[in-house]
Amino acid sequence: MTKKALILIADGTEDMEFTITYDTLVRAGVQCTSAYVSSVGTESATNDAYQATPYATCSRGIRIVPDTVFSPQAATPETYDLLVIPGGAKGAETISTNSPVQHLVREYIEAGKYVGMICAGSLAALTSNLPKQPLTSHPSVQSQLESDFTYSNDPVVVSGKLVTSRGPGTTFPFALTLVELLCGKEKRTEVGGPMVFPPGTFA
């Protein structure tokens, strides 16, 4: 059965963390859907609002057209196997403070589905009131997380169904870890090989 991933995006999302994760999962045969989270609340994220802003402007200025507008009703763990929250300070703030997203994070974990958070996206673990457990994040938000979680400086931290990572430079190991968890170690090797990482790196 084809695995499915929902990758959230907002204005200010970190470009690499979104695109590398999406791309790597697709290479593994995962069906990915990107969903735009509005900075002014879910109630405004209608089709009309989406037409007024048909793309997300990422943190380095790259404009990405999402597949859909975030809808809590369409984003349930019954539909997807993985929920991904990228970083980028502004984008992570928008996504992590969105109450329907917070509810979904808890729902995915409770349903035994994976939740991936990278960089400042790990703030969603805090705003979603996840229990104390190992995680990591971008160093810029470490102080907001270390008292509520068992903080790690590892590039990728897997804690049950929660997968966290540090920043743009750790996005490949983050994405490949998600591939392995969803599709197995052999698929990770199959996907990583043609990417031609230098010898001795994480792939």
Structure tokens belonging to residue 194: 């043609």
Q: Is 103 a catalytic residue?
A: no
Active-site entry in 32, 107, 138, 180: 138
> Taking a C-beta distance cutoff of 8 angstroms, is the pair 86, 16 a contact?
no
User: Which secondary structure element, helix H or strand E, spans residue 195, and what is its range?
Assistant: helix 185-195
Q: Is 146 a catalytic residue?
A: no
Is 134 in a helix, a strand, or coil? strand
CA distances from 201 to 86, 168, 196 (A): 22, 15, 10
CA distances from 133 to 40, 62, 101, 120 (A): 31, 34, 20, 17
Structure tokens belonging to residue 110: 């409770």
Q: Between β-strands 68-69 and 31-36, what pairing exists: parallel, antiparallel or unpaired?
A: parallel
Active-site entry in 14, 58, 107, 119: 119
User: Rounded to the nearest 5°, which phi and psi values hold at 62?
Assistant: -70, 135
Give the CA angle between residues 27, 28, 32 to the nearest 5°. 80
Structure tokens belonging to residue 107: 């729902």
Active-site entry in 17, 58, 107, 180: 17
Q: Is 107 a catalytic residue?
A: no
Catalytic residues: 17, 119, 138
